[in-house]
Amino acid sequence: MPDNRIKVLIADDSAFMRNALSRMISSDPELLVVGTARDGVETIDKVNSLKPDIVTLDVEMPRMNGLEALKVIMDTNPVPVLMVSSLTSEGAEITLEALDAGAVDFIPKNLADLSVNILKIREQLLEKLKAIGRRGIVRRKARRQPLSVPRKTFEGQRRISLVVIGSSTGGPKALQEILPHIPEDLPVGVVIAQHMPPSFTGPFAERLDSMCKISVKEAEHGEPVRAGVVMIAPGGKHLKIVRRRTLEVTAEIVDAEEGEYIYKPSVDLLMISATRAFPGRTLGVILTGMGNDGLRGMEMIKKDNGKTLAQNEETCVVYGMPKAVVEAGIADKVVPIEEIAGEIINSV
């Protein structure tokens, strides 16, 4: 009888981490630890020999570090890789490099009290391993240049005044495929809730800004929503769009609703606040990610006669958040990642 469990390879130079991750992963009947590796060279060898469905990969390892090993794996024997990243500014920068190099996602670990905090990542780790391991590597078609703006327009006559994007697992790479194709003179503002730890969203916004024509920054409390500016919600906080007066719309960072919303930043909270500020004139975009954060927000945008756009299954790393929206029948359009920038441009 075939073994249908998802095969996991653990790569970490710490014996404590290898044992802790092995115990967590082995506790799930859908997962199987097929091996462990102590450095980058051993990781490459075991990817080739053990044929895992997914790899957890530490960054700091002897002989060959995780980032170097990742690049070799992606060139020679591509397999989904989940980085194990420290919650530091340096950890964020290296993790973003790893996502650029082909890693699918990351699990953050707090080095300040590792023995306690490693247990806190269990649920997130198992969920990601199963979702990504089943999905495998998502291969995308090369984008044709120049970007073609869709001919078909959204239904209705009202133009969009604000674009709100929600994303999670696979989102950083997806956003890097979308935002560089948005022009610097986009006549509306863009706000994004990407599930990320607090130390990661600032460096992520800086990285996006360096690759894009449009300005990208981490949102600040009380900052006006401006045309031609993309604001990334800070990790660990919620972001709201608030209309104070007729012409004054600001982004406000809050913690008050944390009991109601699981994820911080919450896609639902951001989208609901956005459509209250711009009823009927908000475009909601839901990208790759696990779970259903964004479903309530997209429902509200749809109810207020705004526009809704979902990434299609074929180009998602994890078809969870878009699936919830599509199955609820509230997506006006479902398109591949390479068409989303054009759809945004076409709607404003």
- Active site residues per annotation: 168, 195, 293
Mapped onto helix, strand or coil, the DSSP state of residue 53 is coil
Residue 181's contacts (CB-CB under 8 Å, 6 or more residues apart) are 147, 341, 342
Q: Which residues of 47-75 are buried (b: 16+ CB within 10 A; e: fewer)?
A: beeeebbbbbbbbebeebbbbbbbbebee
CA distance 313 to 49: 31
Nearest one of 138, 240, 168, 190 to 341, comparing CA atoms: 190
Mapped onto helix, strand or coil, the DSSP state of residue 67 is helix
Query: Are β-strands 248-254 and 223-224 bridged in parallel, bridged antiparallel, or unpaired?
Result: antiparallel
HSE-CB for 111 with a 13 A CA cutoff:
11
C-beta pairs of 22-26 under 8 Å, 24+ apart in sequence? 24/122, 24/125, 24/126, 25/125, 25/126, 25/129
Segments of the chain assigned E as strands:
6-11, 31-37, 54-58, 81-86, 105-109, 162-167, 189-194, 215-218, 223-224, 229-232, 238-245, 248-254, 282-286, 307-311, 333-335
Nearest one of 164, 151, 157 to 272, comparing CA atoms: 164
